[in-house]
Structure 1
Amino acid sequence: MANRRIDLRPPTFDSVEAERLHRKERLAAALRVFALHGYEDGVAGHISTRDPEHRDQFWINPVGMPFSLVQVSDLILVDDRGEVVSGDHQTHEAPFSIHSAIYRARNDIQAAAHSHSIHGRALSSLGEPVEPITQDSCAFYGDQGYLDDYTGVVLDEAEGKRLAAALGEAKAVILRNHGLLTVGASVDAATWWFISMERSCQAQLLAKAAGEPIRIDDQNAARTHQQLGSEYVGWLNFQPIYRDIVSRQPDLLE
């Protein structure tokens, strides 16, 4: 019988190789989850994780491969010059410029997720943040940046630096007229924050279309952020999603 025990503690590792494999498995699973949620839009969108040994390098999905087909063996390792140092596929300027700048600016994060989800794109065009109008959206209270400019596709180092500066020390950033980007100390957390932020954007758009939402006051929004906005909570919320996708699509681990 398969082990059905649920461990509610983030894993520890005996070797760099074990930690690298774990991060890659979570990354492949996250991409499959994005496919199920409809976050894929052509070749736009990417999730990455920093290599645990070579911290100036990161693993990322190959450009042109559907999220729904990505396996661990398909992931590519990119260095700080944008060169593929491991893997049989290619990347391009946009994911390299975005992710490399974030990892340079934020030594505390191990993963970043960006895609052109429909509700994130819609809210990004309104010039407003995710507001504390639901319990779940309070996870982003005081913990989101806003890139208040649009100058085209992020294709160079300068644009990547602007994006990283807009993110600051937050877990998420809204890119005006573009979409969402989230980060975390694990692939699990970064992926969950993206899912949660996209849902919060959807709830906000629906609420404003129906009337005037009642905003949670600052004191309670801040307290709820402390309860729901930690790295551990982000990691924890991804665990049932990971178990579900692996049980249904075990080939992603190949």
Structure 2
Amino acid sequence: MTGGRPTRTVEEERTYRKQRLAASFRIFARLGFDEGAGGHITARDPGDPHQFWINPFTVPFARIRVSDLILVDADGHVLQGTGTVNPAGYAIHSAIHAARPDVVAAAHTHSVYGRAWAALGRQLDPLTQDACVFFEDHAVYEGFEGVVLDSVEGKRIAEVLGGGKAVVLRNHGLLTVGTTVQEAAWWFVTMDSCARVQLIAEAAGTPVPISSDIARATATVMGTPAMGRLNFRPMYADIVRAQPDLLD
């Protein structure tokens, strides 16, 4: 056992990550996080930490299968799979994977509430139990300069992310990371939801934030890797049962 999880061979771990990566795209599609050709989720390859799996450019999230995923190296070359890599996806994710050896997966899409919140250029406040997940564990990247196609900007985003689990990309959207695919995907789902809640609460009146001490204590329970994996589990089970072809 490793960290409470069963020990797998490299090939078994690769399959495990790819299955959850494909499922994450289907879940994101169900939640409306996909729009056009934008958005990407990556999973570091267990056999080579300098390579990662990513969705092929322009393939709809709702149609992605395990067999559609492509393997990319640190220079952006496609090593396995058919298709091309989203240039922005490579610029952002390659920098994050290089800067954070602990990160197995990263997720970024142009979700509606994520973009709305990003337009404010602020961190989320601890207004609910779920929002406490990100208390003192996310940042705001304020250097929007258009579509991220430059590796330099990708490195800047990684620097602002630091050791946190998420970053608000001002005027762009949300980005989350995790030590597993499950974590990165769940953090994105709940972060977008928290953005929605705060937007609604502020539109209705003046929200009452949770105190720093309580928010910090709540984060130690709700914001752990184990909790991220736990919350992803029912979503994974549901999407696999409803759309088993994603495992092809």
Report the TM-score, using the length of structure 1 for normalisation: 0.95
User: Which position in structure 2 is the counterpart of 1:201?
Assistant: 195
Contact 1:10 1:235 in 2 (8 A): no
User: Structure 1 residue aligned with 2:208, among 184, 206, 214?
Assistant: 214
Q: Please state how far the C-alpha of 1:150 moved relative to its aligned partner.
A: 1.1
Give the letter for the 2:241 counterpart. S
Q: Deviations over 1:52-100 (max 9, x none)?
A: 0111000001011000000000000000010100001111311111100
Q: Please state how far the C-alpha of 1:10 moved relative to its aligned partner.
A: 5.9
- Structure 1's consecutive aligned runs of 4 or more residues displaced over 3 angstroms after TM superposition are none
Q: Deviations over 1:26-61 (max 9, x none)?
A: 000000000000000101000000000111000001
User: Structure 2 residue aligned with 1:53, among 35, 47, 56?
Assistant: 47
Q: Take 1:145 and 1:173, find their aligned partners in 2: how far apart are those partners? A: 5
Q: 2:137 matched to 1:177? A: no
User: Structure 2 residue aligned with 1:108, among 99, 102, 105?
Assistant: 102
User: Structure 1 residue aligned with 2:8, among 5, 10, 14?
Assistant: 14
- 3-state DSSP class of the match of 2:189? helix
User: Which position in structure 2 is the counterpart of 1:123?
Assistant: 117
| Matched length | 246
Q: Take 2:5 and 2:68, find their aligned partners in 1: how far apart are those partners? A: 24
Q: Please state how far the C-alpha of 1:128 moved relative to its aligned partner.
A: 1.2
User: Which position in structure 1 is the counterpart of 2:88?
Assistant: 94
Contact 1:189 1:234 in 2 (8 A): yes
RMSD, aligned CA: 1.0
Q: Please state how far the C-alpha of 1:227 moved relative to its aligned partner.
A: 1.0
- 3-state DSSP class of the match of 1:49? strand
Q: Take 1:125 and 1:252, find their aligned partners in 2: how far apart are those partners? A: 34
- Segments of structure 2 that go 5 or more residues without pairing to the other structure are none
User: Which position in structure 2 is the counterpart of 1:155?
Assistant: 149
- Segments of structure 1 that go 5 or more residues without pairing to the other structure are 1-8
Q: How does 1:19-34 map to 2 (within 5 A)?
A: 19-34=13-28
Contact 2:23 2:236 in 1 (8 A): yes
Contact 2:121 2:168 in 1 (8 A): no
Identity of matched residues, %:
50
Give the letter for the 1:176 counterpart. R
User: Structure 1 residue aligned with 2:71, among 46, 56, 77?
Assistant: 77
User: Structure 2 residue aligned with 1:142, among 113, 136, 140?
Assistant: 136
Report the TM-score, using the length of structure 2 for normalisation: 0.97
User: Which position in structure 2 is the counterpart of 1:5?
Assistant: none
